[in-house]
Structure 1
Amino acid sequence: MRISTSQIFQNGIDVIQRQQAEISRTQNQLGTGRRILSPSDDPSGSVQALQFESRIDQTKQFQRNGGLAEQRLRLTEVTLASVGDGLQRIRELSVKANNATETDETRRYIAGEMQQVLNSLVDLGNTRDANGEYLFAGYKSQTQPFVMKDGEVKYQGDDNARQVDISPVRKLAVGDPGNAVFGDAGLPGALKDGNGTFTTLPGDENEGSGVIGGGSVVDRKAWQEAVDAASGELSYSVTFADDGETFTVQAFENGTPVNTAPFDELPVDAPFKSGESIAFNGISFDIKGTPKVDDEFTIRPSKPQSLFTGVQNIIDALQSPVGTSTAPVNNAINRGLSELDSALGHVLDTRATVGARLNALENQDNLNRDQILQLETTISEIRDLDYAEAISRFNLQQVGLQAAQQSYTQVARLTLFDYIR
Structure 2
Amino acid sequence: MRLSFNMKFNAGLDGILNTQSKMNRAQDQLTKQTRILTPADDPAASAKVLGLDQNLEQVAQFQNNSVLLKNNLALEETVLTNMRTSIDKARSLAIAAGNGTYTESDRKAVAQELKNIQVELADLMNTRNAEGGYIFSGFQDKKQSYSFNQATGIYEFQGDDGQKALQISPTIALPGNDSGKMVFENVDARFKNTPAVISAGGATAAEVSVTDQSQFDAFYKQNYDSLTPANNDFSVALTAPSNYEILQNGVALVPPVTGAFVADAPIQFNGLTITVSGAAAVPGQIDFSLQAPEKKNILTTIGEFITALENPGLSSFEFNEAISDAITQVTSSASTIDSSLSSIGGRVNVLDSVFGTNEDLTINNKSYRADLSEVDYAAALTEITKQEIALEAISNTFVKVSGVSLFDYIR
Q: Which TM bucket (shorter chain)?
A: 0.7 to 0.9
8 A contact 1:215–1:286 mirrored in 2: no
8 A contact 1:200–1:213 mirrored in 2: no
The match for 1:406 is: 396
Aligned partner of 1:307: which letter? I
CA–CA distance in structure 1, aligned partners of residues 398 and 230 of structure 2: 108
Q: 1:307 to 1:268 in 2, by over 3 A?
A: farther
**1:163 maps onto 2:165 in alignment:** yes
Q: 1:340 pairs with 330, 335, 353, which one?
A: 330
The match for 1:232 is: 229
Task: Quote the offset at 1:107 in angstroms.
Answer: 1.1
Indicate the SS of the match to 1:26. helix
Q: 1:353 to 1:163 in 2, by over 3 A?
A: same
The match for 2:364 is: 374
Task: Quote the offset at 1:192 in angstroms.
Answer: 0.4
**1:71 maps onto 2:71 in alignment:** yes
Q: Which segment drifts farther, 305-314 or 79-88?
A: 305-314
Aligned ranges for residues 266-277 of structure 1 at < 5 Å?
266-267=257-258, 270=261
CA–CA distance in structure 1, aligned partners of residues 243 and 102 of structure 2: 31
CA–CA distance in structure 1, aligned partners of residues 193 and 235 of structure 2: 10
CA–CA distance in structure 2, aligned partners of residues 219 and 106 of structure 1: 32
8 A contact 1:201–1:212 mirrored in 2: no
Q: 1:227 to 1:201 in 2, by over 3 A?
A: closer
Aligned ranges for residues 103-182 of structure 1 at < 5 Å?
103-149=103-149, 150-182=152-184
CA–CA distance in structure 2, aligned partners of residues 209 and 322 of structure 1: 19
Q: 2:187 pairs with 188, 191, 202, which one?
A: 191
Indicate the SS of the match to 2:139. coil
**1:88 maps onto 2:88 in alignment:** yes
Q: 1:310 pairs with 278, 294, 301, which one?
A: 301
Q: Which runs of 5+ in 1 are unaligned?
A: 184-189, 252-256
Q: Which runs of 5+ in 2 are unaligned?
A: 199-203
**C-alpha offsets along residues 228-256 of structure 1, whole Å, 9 cap, x if unaligned?**
697336535576989xx9976443xxxxx
Aligned pair count reads 396
Aligned partner of 1:49: which letter? V
The match for 2:7 is: 7
Task: Quote the offset at 1:304 in angstroms.
Answer: 2.3
CA–CA distance in structure 1, aligned partners of residues 124 and 368 of structure 2: 48
Task: Quote the offset at 1:414 in angstroms.
Answer: 2.0
8 A contact 1:145–1:178 mirrored in 2: yes
8 A contact 2:267–2:273 mirrored in 1: yes
Q: Which segment drifts farther, 92-101 or 131-140?
A: 92-101
Task: Quote the offset at 1:88 in angstroms.
Answer: 0.9
Task: Quote the offset at 1:26 in angstroms.
Answer: 0.4
Aligned partner of 1:310: which letter? T
Q: 1:364 to 1:277 in 2, by over 3 A?
A: farther
Q: 1:63 to 1:87 in 2, by over 3 A?
A: same
Task: Quote the offset at 1:285 in angstroms.
Answer: 4.7
TM-score of the superposed pair, with normalisation by structure 2: 0.85
CA–CA distance in structure 1, aligned partners of residues 301 and 230 of structure 2: 22
Task: Quote the offset at 1:405 in angstroms.
Answer: 1.7
CA–CA distance in structure 2, aligned partners of residues 26 and 414 of structure 1: 34
The match for 1:254 is: none
Aligned partner of 1:161: which letter? Q
CA–CA distance in structure 2, aligned partners of residues 328 and 241 of structure 1: 26
**C-alpha offsets along residues 172-222 of structure 1, whole Å, 9 cap, x if unaligned?**
111111111111xxxxxx31011xxx33565599978986435114895x7
Name the Cα RMSD after superposition.
3.2
8 A contact 1:199–1:214 mirrored in 2: no
Q: 1:327 to 1:232 in 2, by over 3 A?
A: closer
**1:213 maps onto 2:205 in alignment:** no
The match for 1:352 is: 342
Task: Quote the offset at 1:313 in angstroms.
Answer: 2.1
Q: 1:229 to 1:17 in 2, by over 3 A?
A: closer
8 A contact 2:197–2:288 mirrored in 1: no
Task: Quote the offset at 1:14 in angstroms.
Answer: 0.8
8 A contact 2:49–2:369 mirrored in 1: yes
Aligned-residue sequence identity (percent) comes to: 26
Q: 1:271 to 1:412 in 2, by over 3 A?
A: farther
The match for 1:186 is: none
CA–CA distance in structure 1, aligned partners of residues 22 and 317 of structure 2: 100
Aligned partner of 1:181: which letter? V
